[in-house]
Amino acid sequence: MAVDTSVKPQTIQLKTQLVKKGRSRILLSETDNSTFRIHCYATGTGENALHAHLNEDHTFVVLKGVATFTGIDEKPFTVAKNNAVVLPKGCFYQFANYGDEPLVMIRFGAHAEKFDHRINPKGEQIGGRAAEGYGDPELIENAFFE
C-alpha cells in the first residue's frame, strides 16, 4: 500500500461571535468524509423542523447554553454544556434554544457522500437549514465564545 506523506494535520480555533437574533454556522474544517462546524443560536432558534439525514452521522457538542432536543415519539431532553448528543444517520430530531443565553455548539458530521439527503417523517426530501427562514443573524457586538 502506498503511503501519502503529503497529508498534514489541521488546527482550528473554537471561536464564534454570539448572536442575539437568529443563528450562525461557521465551517471550521472539511474533509472528504467529514465536516466540523461551530454554530450559535439565539434564544428561540434552533433546527425546528423534525428531520433526519440519510447519509450522515453527526454529533452536537454543547459548549455554552442548553439545547432541547426532541425526536419521533420522544419526550424532550436537554443537552447542557460539556455534553453531546450523537445522531446516527436516519435518526429524526429537532432542537431549539429555550435558554436565556446564546447556545454554542460544535457540529461534527461524518458522511460517505457529500450530498446531504434531509427528509421529514413522511419520507419527503426537505430543503437545507436555510429553508427554516432565519435569514442573517443579528450579532452581539464584541461578544464571542472562545
Which pLDDT belongs to residue 26? 95
Which pLDDT belongs to residue 53? 93
Is the pLDDT confidence value at 79 over 90?
yes
Mean pLDDT of the chain: 92
In tens, the pLDDT along 85-142 reads 999 999 999 999 999 999 999 999 999 887 778 889 999 988 765 445 567 899 999 9
Kindly state the average pLDDT of the residues 26-51: 94
pLDDT confidence bin for 82, thresholds 50/70/90: very high
Q: Please state, for a pLDDT cut of 70, what percent of the chain lies above it.
A: 95
Query: What are the structural domains of the chain?
Result: 16-124 (2.60.120.10)
Which pLDDT belongs to residue 136? 86
**pTM summary value:** 0.89
Task: Encode burial over 20-47: b for 16+ CB neighbours within 10 A, e otherwise.
Answer: eebbbeeebeeeeeebbbbbbbbbebbb
Which pLDDT belongs to residue 118? 86
Is the pLDDT confidence value at 11 over 80?
yes
Which pLDDT belongs to residue 74? 84
Is the pLDDT confidence value at 35 over 90?
yes
Q: CA dist 125 to 46, 53, 57, 92, 100, Å?
A: 19, 10, 17, 13, 33
